[in-house]
């Protein structure tokens, strides 16, 4: 079970506990029209504010927030050092290793080396690709975070609609004793909107932001690794240089020099 799922369950459990002990008649929460207004209009705003493709990426990113966040930095460093060890600066051996490379961005970088681009040219190309990917991820995450402002707003609209209905009945079929319960139903929409924004959308947006930063950090490590290979640095230097991007306990020792560069 991921930390996101644990947090999600805990948040809603505490909210349910408080609501259950604060509201005498839980039937008042049965505001289906208000719920449909909030959810339906929030989904509609996602498509109005973004293209259909971008909206689909937002939903995909939201669901991805419940999956385990995988840190591949150690695997990336291991793969780069392994390639450096096997090839040792020989372009012919490097070309043979292309089919074994798992990381797509690393394979792109090695392809640039084999195409005989200079190190500064490789750095320029790969940096531009990282920036482009950063914008791609940022639009997806920012789009998700922007959705958080809609549920509370639509919750207020649902509340206002309910209050209008109450006012219409006031002085007619609505008795004085029914005024409070009727107004309480109107406030349910506001509650649903606040819960949707603060218990679902905003936390998942922060989760997506953390995933984006991790992915960009992985690409930065790959960029440095490709530049080291392009400059034909020794495998030991490649290992020690890339280990600088890892926590001490995560450092690798592909070359068997002892401790993978860990401090004594």
Query: Average model confidence (pLDDT) for the chain?
Result: 90
* Averaged pLDDT, 126-132: 97
* Averaged pLDDT, 39-48: 95
In the predicted structure, residue 260 carries a pLDDT above the cut 60: no
Task: Report yes or no: 126 and 223 within 8 Å, Cβ to Cβ.
Answer: yes
Sorting pLDDT into bands at 50, 70 and 90, what band is 32?
A: confident
Q: How far apart are CA 165 and CA 223, in angstroms?
A: 62
Task: Report yes or no: 50 and 143 within 8 Å, Cβ to Cβ.
Answer: yes
Q: How far apart are CA 245 and CA 202, in angstroms?
A: 30
The confidence score (pLDDT) of residue 179 equals 66
The confidence score (pLDDT) of residue 29 equals 84
In the predicted structure, residue 261 carries a pLDDT above the cut 60: no
In the predicted structure, residue 176 carries a pLDDT above the cut 80: no
Sorting pLDDT into bands at 50, 70 and 90, what band is 7?
A: very high
33 or 54, which is more confident? 54
The confidence score (pLDDT) of residue 210 equals 95
Long-range CB contact pairs, 5-9, < 8 A, 24+: 5/66, 7/203, 8/66, 8/199, 8/200, 8/203
pLDDT in tens, 191-247: 999 999 999 999 999 999 999 999 999 999 999 999 999 999 999 999 999 999 999
The confidence score (pLDDT) of residue 250 equals 94
Q: How far apart are CA 219 and CA 239, in angstroms?
A: 17
In the predicted structure, residue 263 carries a pLDDT above the cut 50: no
pLDDT in tens, 177-190: 566 666 777 788 89
pLDDT in tens, 73-114: 999 999 999 999 999 888 889 999 999 999 999 999 999 999
Beta bridge partners of 170: 174
In the predicted structure, residue 264 carries a pLDDT above the cut 50: no
Beta bridge partners of 174: 170
């Amino acid at each position: 079970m991921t930390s996101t799922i644990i947090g999600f369950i805990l948040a809603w459990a505490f909210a349910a506990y408080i609501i259950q002990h604060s509201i005498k008649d839980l039937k008042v929460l049965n505001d289906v029209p208000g719920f449909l207004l909030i959810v339906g209009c929030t989904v509609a705003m996602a498509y109005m504010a973004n293209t259909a493709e971008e909206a689909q990426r937002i939903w995909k990113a939201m669901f991805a927030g419940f999956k385990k966040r995988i840190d591949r930095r150690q695997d990336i460093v291991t793969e780069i050092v392994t390639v450096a060890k096997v090839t040792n600066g020989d372009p012919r051996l490097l070309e043979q290793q292309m089919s074994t490379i798992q990381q797509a961005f690393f394979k792109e970088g090695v392809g640039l080396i084999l195409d005989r681009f200079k190190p500064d040219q490789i750095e320029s190309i790969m940096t531009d690709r990282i920036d482009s990917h950063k914008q791609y991820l940022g639009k997806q995450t920012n789009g998700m975070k922007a959705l958080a402002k809609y549920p509370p707003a639509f919750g207020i609209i649902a509340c206002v609609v309910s209050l209008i209905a109450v006012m219409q009945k006031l002085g007619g079929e609505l008795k004085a004793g029914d005024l409070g319960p009727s107004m309480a139903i109107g406030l349910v929409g506001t509650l649903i909107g606040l819960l949707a924004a603060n218990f679902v959308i905003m936390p998942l947006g922060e989760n997506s932001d953390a995933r984006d930063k991790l992915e960009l950090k992985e690409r930065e490590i790959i960029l440095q690794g490709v530049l080291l290979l392009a400059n034909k640095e020794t495998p030991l230097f490649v290992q020690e240089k890339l280990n600088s991007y890892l926590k001490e306990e995560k450092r690798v020792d592909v070359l068997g020099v002892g401790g993978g560069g860990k401090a004594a």
